[in-house]
């Protein structure tokens, strides 16, 4: 069984078609990178697979079910940093601990195994030293790491990452890559959007080029030789990223 099956999906915002006839599969233990220009529908695709958006046409199945039919906590979705309201009063540890709540029954208390999962997730993204800092007092890269840690603590069946390396330095990016590849090696399927085309072969097993439609899908090497990929590189500011993590 495929982890994710997307079939002929169309997503509209009023009269605007954000995704048009999108189809692909994601296997268990596989990471697919999604690349495309701004406005190409990358975030919309992740939200649709997460069950946050409902397609106007077509269908999405996650482990053979609709996303909203899965048990709570099955899908971990990490949005872009700028899409998050940082005004709520919470420490880094509080945010990461939220990843455990979907897995708790109404009568369960936060136990030793939950605390251990939170601590392991903090250490995986090198945020344990900042666990008691207020989330609003972090740099953008640190905030991104905290939300990745929350997703890891959730122990999901599917991980969706929306440009998690934006605003992070090289060391943090490499730490995130190591964590993601370790999760994939353990069988976790991962979908991740990115603007950074330089290291896609190190991050992903396959690469999907999206511009409202699927323009190319294959190994990073094969996609790199396609005309669709060349066009994306031309319109993506790969070397213009600001890396300013504290």
Spatial neighbors of 46 by CB under 8 A, at least 6 apart, are: 34, 77, 160, 162, 191, 193
pTM: 0.87
Q: E strand or H helix at 6, and its extent?
A: strand 4-13
Residues 123 and 3: their CA atoms lie apart, in Å, by 27
Q: How many other C-beta atoms can be found within 10 angstroms of the C-beta atom of residue 48?
A: 23
What is the SS3 assignment for 176? Answer: helix
Which two three-digit tokens encode residue 135? 């989330």
pLDDT at 103 (0 to 100): 76
Q: What is residue 38's predicted lDDT score, i.e. its pLDDT?
A: 86
Instruction: Tell me the C-alpha distance between 126 and 122, whole Å.
Output: 6
Four-residue CA torsion sign, 176, 96, 137, 133: negative
Residue 238: its pLDDT value, please? 41
State the Cα–Cα distance between residues 207 and 218, nearest whole angstrom. 6
Is residue 36 within 8 A of residue 210, CB to CB? The reply is yes
> For residue 32, what are the β-bridge partners?
191, 206
**Mean pLDDT, consecutive 10-residue segments, the chain of 246 residues?**
95 94 97 93 97 97 96 91 70 92 78 92 91 88 87 95 85 86 95 89 95 94 78 55 35
112 burial type by CB count under 10 A (0-12 exposed, 13-18 middle, 19+ buried): exposed
Which residue in the block uniquely carries the two structure tokens 């080029």?
Answer: 209
Q: Could you tell me the domains of the chain? A: 4-85+158-240 (3.40.50.300)
């Amino acid at each position: 069984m495929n982890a994710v099956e997307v079939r002929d999906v169309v997503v509209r915002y009023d009269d605007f078609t954000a995704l048009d006839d999108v189809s692909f599969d994601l296997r268990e233990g596989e990471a697919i990178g999604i690349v495309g220009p701004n406005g190409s529908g990358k975030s919309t695709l992740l939200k649709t697979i997460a069950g946050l958006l409902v397609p106007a046409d077509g269908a999405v199945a996650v482990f053979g079910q609709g996303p909203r039919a899965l048990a709570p906590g099955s899908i971990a979705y990490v949005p872009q940093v700028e899409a998050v309201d940082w005004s709520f009063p919470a420490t880094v540890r509080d945010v990461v601990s939220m990843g455990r709540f979907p897995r708790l029954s109404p009568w369960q208390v936060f136990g030793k195994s939950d605390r251990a999962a939170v601590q392991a997730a903090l250490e995986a993204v090198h945020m344990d030293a900042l666990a008691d800092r207020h989330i609003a007092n972090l740099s953008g890269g640190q905030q991104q790491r905290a939300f990745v840690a929350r997703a890891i603590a959730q122990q999901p069946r599917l991980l969706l990452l929306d440009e998690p390396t934006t605003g992070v330095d090289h060391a943090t990016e490499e730490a995130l890559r190591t964590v993601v590849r370790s999760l994939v090696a353990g069988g976790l399927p991962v979908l991740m959007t990115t603007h950074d085309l330089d290291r896609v072969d190190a991050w992903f097993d396959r690469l999907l080029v999206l511009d409202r439609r699927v323009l190319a899908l294959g190994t990073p090497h094969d996609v790199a030789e396609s005309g669709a990929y060349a066009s994306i590189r031309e319109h993506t500011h790969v070397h213009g990223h600001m890396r300013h993590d504290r």
